[in-house]
Amino acid sequence: MKYFYKSNYRAGGKYELLSAYLDNELSDEDVKKLEEELQFSKELQEKLTELKKIKQLTISSIKPVQENPFFEARMAAALKIKNPWHYKFRRFSPVFSVIALSIVLMIVLRYNPKIIDRLVDQQKSSITAFYKENLKPLLYTANLTNEDIFNFAFYHQLPLDSKKKQYLLLGSDKNGKQYFEIKDAGFIQNMNNLARFSKNLNLTETQQRQMDSILASYAGDLQAQVLVNEKNTVAINPNIWNFNKAIAIDLISFAQKVNGKESLKVVPPGYNQLPSAKALKQMAKEIKSAKNNKYIFFTSDSIFSDQYQFNKGEFNKEMENWSAEMNKNLKQIDKQFKNFNVNIHFGDNFAKFQKGSSQNKGFNVYIDSNVCRVDIPEIVIPPIVLPNMGKLSEKIDSLIKYFGSYSFSIPNPGKDKNFNYKYFFSDSSKGYKFNYKAFGFDSSFTPGNSRADQMLKKRFKNFSFNPDSMASIFKMFMGDSSNGREMQKQLKNFEKRMEQFQKQMEQMQKQLKKNVPEEQQGKPVEI
Amino acid sequence: MKNKKNEKDLALPQILNLDDDFSLIKRFIEGDESTFSVLVQRHKEKIRNIIYLTLGNHDLVDDIAQEVLLTIYKNLSRFRFESQFTTWLYRITINKCKDHLRKINIRHIFLSFKDSDEEPGYEQSPETSDVKEIVHKAIEKLPDKLRIPLLLKDIEGLSYREIAESVQCEIGTVKSRIFRARESLKTLLKPYEQELL
């Protein structure tokens, strides 16, 4: 085939340069030289035209290869096939893993055939243990009263909390299957059932006590029937239905005993066909003695039945400890809570109170149409120019504001804590002095209200507040309003500041004692 | 002009992008085999075109391209970053094509005993009057040494340097071969001057 080009080939000739020139592959210098030659050589010009024509024909004759949309997919497949051994191994690695795992399992099971059962049991026990942890009686907080237990016996309802917002209801359907449900208190209608029951039976005081003791004896047992914990587990002992019957039977038995004729009238519907007293007693005994430690556990993800021993003694001990601790804390709080007297004087003649005021111990608060004065008790102020009195007067000013419209709420006193409030009315022949007691104050003061109203309207007409009745004053003073709380807070702060002030004064007194004449010491100074 | 190009190349610092060939190869060497598919996507058409131009056969293009890419996949971890990836790629492609042509030639030796009178050349009368077809057939008749550099230059637009590296010869040889290819083509097309004008 060599003859194709040999005949036209001119070695080292200009034509080869022309070809390279056409392909843009010559250096600038060669291009310059060649272009100069091209200007004067017709032969070279013709050859260039010829080469251009050939190049153009070459370019136009070849169509680009068509794209193959499947090329990459084929390529990927080929890569997988021709890949090294590790790629193949990786491809089959899940299969190898499964085979290896199966072999291991087969070997393990061959030598430990009961391992799966053990694992399942272990898992099961750990799950149940998890849910059974720290179970506490739900009804403990409900403070079950005899009325509640009575209602449980005959109306199958038990309050679940002390405020009796929710009730546990026991029931049974048409087929006799028992169920329970928890409902809000809205539907509960039968109240004071125990009182009506007692009344209808015409119980004597002794009989009443007997019945109360019967009911109270079930309270502890009932508590252990419904248990809960912080994992939202509710455990119910099916024996609760038996307790329900046992209490009912015990009560009916008692009713028969104390008043056989009337008992038929007072027993709720469904319980009026009574067996003999002996049979009833036997039934109650059987139910009580039937110990059932099997609880039904309702958890967030499963329901199961399992044995559970609720240790009532331990729980009671725990509660006692808790109670003791709480009492201890309360005592500490009580220690910090000082006894003090507050004497409040209302009147339009301020001067009249000045005489007797110094004899009163505790705080003396004088309220007039123009002024409010607070006498501070048991503080020996040395006869010197007192520093920071401006701050104290600011405090008193803020107190006046609250006295103008509201008063403070009085904390609930214990037996030993007396908050003595004395109200004095300046030019009235009748003053009021009373010891505050937490309960029943409304009834104590009701008879005097109308007279007090008239008197107050007269005496307080110039004051910034105009009380409608005596009771309203007490309510204002003892109410739990935000202003009342604020007043209380203010007084506590005030007391603290006074204590600090007293300490400071004592220190100052010690320091100044040497310089102050003895006869001037101990004299009270008015603020 | 060529030197101008080289100066330009030297003047500009080579800034590697995350997706340039070298970066992709580095990532592949580091274990990220997914970069190979990017390289395939980027260069597959060039490879397929070179194969087609070299062999002149559509049917073989995909098979040879696949072989080329498999060879690259296996040897990519040994890439030395001394030349451009495309140069290496074209060289492998041309070599694969040459291997294939060699196989065909060996086969042709045995077949030629039967068809010894079938001699390619301008003596044979053309069967078609279509200009593109005439030129295409004339190019096919060129020997591989002339045809491959000619097509890599005129169709694929490779530089003489790239062609020299791909076919593993001197640049001067490439220049000479391309000129000779054009001269031979002119000779082959001489009987069709009228149609070509």
The rounded percent of chain A whose pLDDT value lies above 90 is 1
Band of the pLDDT at A255, cuts 50, 70, 90?
A: confident
Band of the pLDDT at A352, cuts 50, 70, 90?
A: low
Under 8 Å between Cβ of B25 and B85: yes
- DSSP-assigned states of every residue in B35-65: HHHHHHHHHHHHHHHHHHHHH--HHHHHHHH
B79 touching A (Cβ < 8 Å): no
Q: What is the pLDDT of residues A203-225, one digit of tens each?
A: 888 888 888 888 888 877 777 77
**Given this model, what pLDDT does residue A10 score?**
47
Q: What is the pLDDT of residues A47-61, one digit of tens each?
A: 889 899 999 888 888
What separation in angstroms does the CA of A437 have from each of A331, A336, A446?
Answer: 21, 21, 15
Cα–Cα distance for residue pair B163/B157, rounded to 1 Å: 10
Largest Cα span, chain B: 60
B106 touching A (Cβ < 8 Å): no
Q: Which residue in chain A has the smallest CA separation from B155?
A: A59
Q: What is the pLDDT of residues A388-427, one digit of tens each?
A: 545 555 555 555 554 433 333 344 444 444 444 444 444 4
What separation in angstroms does the CA of A180 have from each of A158, A168, A241, A440?
Answer: 11, 7, 10, 41
Q: What is the pLDDT of residues A226-252, one digit of tens each?
A: 887 777 777 888 777 777 777 887 787
**Given this model, what pLDDT does residue A381 score?**
41
The rounded percent of chain A whose pLDDT value lies above 70 is 54
Band of the pLDDT at A169, cuts 50, 70, 90?
A: confident
Q: B150 to chain A: which residues are within 8 Å by CB?
A: 58
B62 contacts A68? CB cut-off 8 A? yes
Burial A430-456 (b: 16+ CB within 10 A, else e): eebeeeeeeeeeeeebeeebeebbebb
What separation in angstroms does the CA of A271 have from each of A133, A242, A260, B98?
Answer: 39, 15, 14, 110
Question: What is the token pair recorded at A328?
Answer: 């201890």
Residue range A453-458: mean pLDDT, rounded:
54
A82 contacts B70? CB cut-off 8 A? yes
Instruction: Compute how many other C-beta atoms are within 10 angstroms of the C-beta atom of residue A251.
Output: 26
CA atoms within 13 A on the CB side of A327: 6
Rg (CA), chain B: 20
Q: Which residue has the higher pLDDT, A437 or A204?
A: A204
**Given this model, what pLDDT does residue A375 score?**
60
**Given this model, what pLDDT does residue A1 score?**
37
Of A8, A55, A65, the CB nearest to B183: A8
pTM of this prediction exceeds 0.90? no
Instruction: Compute how many other C-beta atoms are within 10 angstroms of the C-beta atom of residue B67.
Output: 20
- Interior CA angle at A181 toward A175 and A182, to 5°? 165
Band of the pLDDT at A387, cuts 50, 70, 90?
A: very low
| Residue B45: closest CA among B24, B57, B61, B29 | B61
Which helix (H) or strand (E) segment holds residue A287: the answer is helix A277-289
Q: Which residue in chain B has the smallest CA separation from A70?
A: B62
Q: Which residue in chain A has the smallest CA separation from B120?
A: A1
Q: Is the pLDDT of residue B133 over 90?
A: no
Which of B182, B184, B194 to probe the A interface (max A CBs under 10 A)? B182
Q: B177 to chain A: which residues are within 8 Å by CB?
A: none
B1 contacts A27? CB cut-off 8 A? yes
Smallest Cα distance from B9 to chain A, Å:
16
The rounded percent of chain B whose pLDDT value lies above 70 is 79
**Given this model, what pLDDT does residue A251 score?**
80
B45 contacts A58? CB cut-off 8 A? no
Which of B173, B183, B185, B193 to probe the A interface (max A CBs under 10 A)? B183
In angstroms, the first-to-last Cα distance of chain A is 135
Strand partners, A178: A172
B41 touching A (Cβ < 8 Å): yes
Q: A23 to chain B: which residues are within 8 Å by CB?
A: 153, 160, 178
Q: Is the pLDDT of residue B172 over 50?
A: yes
**Given this model, what pLDDT does residue A371 score?**
62
Q: Is the pLDDT of residue B143 over 80?
A: yes
- The conformational region for residue A497 under phi > 0 = left, psi -120 to 50 = alpha, else beta, is alpha
Band of the pLDDT at A449, cuts 50, 70, 90?
A: very low
Which of B1, B69, B75, B162 to probe the A interface (max A CBs under 10 A)? B1
Global ipTM: 0.77
Band of the pLDDT at A100, cuts 50, 70, 90?
A: very high
Choose the weakest-confidence range: A56-65, A284-293, B114-123, B127-136.
B114-123
Under 8 Å between Cβ of B18 and B61: no
Q: Judged by CB atoms within 8 Å, which residues 3-32 of B form the interface with A?
A: 3-4
Q: Is the pLDDT of residue B177 over 80?
A: yes
Q: Is the pLDDT of residue B155 over 70?
A: yes
| Residue A470: closest CA among A439, A438, A419, A434 | A434
Under 8 Å between Cβ of B169 and A38: no
Rg (CA), chain A: 51
Band of the pLDDT at A490, cuts 50, 70, 90?
A: confident
What count of CB pairs under 8 Å joins A to B?
Answer: 132
Residue range B185-193: mean pLDDT, rounded:
86
**Given this model, what pLDDT does residue A432 score?**
42
A85 touching B (Cβ < 8 Å): no
A25 contacts B159? CB cut-off 8 A? yes
Which of B44, B147, B179 to probe the A interface (max A CBs under 10 A)? B179
Band of the pLDDT at A171, cuts 50, 70, 90?
A: confident
Contacts with A498 (C-beta within 8 Å, 6 or more apart), sequence order? A376, A379
Highest mean pLDDT among A98-102, A429-433, B127-131, B155-159: A98-102
A75 touching B (Cβ < 8 Å): yes
A60 touching B (Cβ < 8 Å): yes
Cα–Cα distance for residue pair B61/B45, rounded to 1 Å: 10
**Given this model, what pLDDT does residue B45 score?**
86
**Given this model, what pLDDT does residue A470 score?**
46
Contacts with A496 (C-beta within 8 Å, 6 or more apart), sequence order? none
Residue range B90-95: mean pLDDT, rounded:
89
Q: What is the pLDDT of residues A265-298, one digit of tens each?
A: 666 555 556 566 677 667 667 766 666 677 878 7
Amino acid (1-letter code) at residue A76: A
| Residue A163: closest CA among A140, A143, A192, A177 | A143
Describe the strand order of the beta sheet including A342-346 as a list of residue ranges.
A372-375, A363-367, A342-346, A420-425, A432-435
What separation in angstroms does the CA of B47 have from each of B44, B104, B166, B177, B188?
Answer: 5, 20, 12, 22, 28
Q: Judged by CB atoms within 8 Å, which residues 153-182 of B form the interface with A?
A: 153-155, 159-160, 175-176, 178-182
Which of A46, A61, A74 to probe the B interface (max B CBs under 10 A)? A61
A58 contacts B187? CB cut-off 8 A? no
Of A25, A57, A78, the CB nearest to B196: A57
B44 contacts A72? CB cut-off 8 A? yes
Residue range A250-271: mean pLDDT, rounded:
69
Q: Which residue has the higher pLDDT, A386 or A69?
A: A69
**Given this model, what pLDDT does residue A103 score?**
93
Mean of pLDDT over chain A: 68
**Given this model, what pLDDT does residue A316 score?**
75
B39 touching A (Cβ < 8 Å): no
Q: Which residue in chain A has the smallest CA separation from B60?
A: A65
Band of the pLDDT at B44, cuts 50, 70, 90?
A: confident
Band of the pLDDT at B173, cuts 50, 70, 90?
A: very high
Cα–Cα distance for residue pair A375/A422, rounded to 1 Å: 14
What separation in angstroms does the CA of A363 have from each of A165, A431, A522?
Answer: 43, 18, 18
Burial A392-410 (b: 16+ CB within 10 A, else e): beebbeebbebbeebbbbb
Mean of pLDDT over chain B: 79
Contacts with A499 (C-beta within 8 Å, 6 or more apart), sequence order? none
CA atoms within 13 A on the CB side of A521: 12
A60 contacts B179? CB cut-off 8 A? no
B136 touching A (Cβ < 8 Å): yes
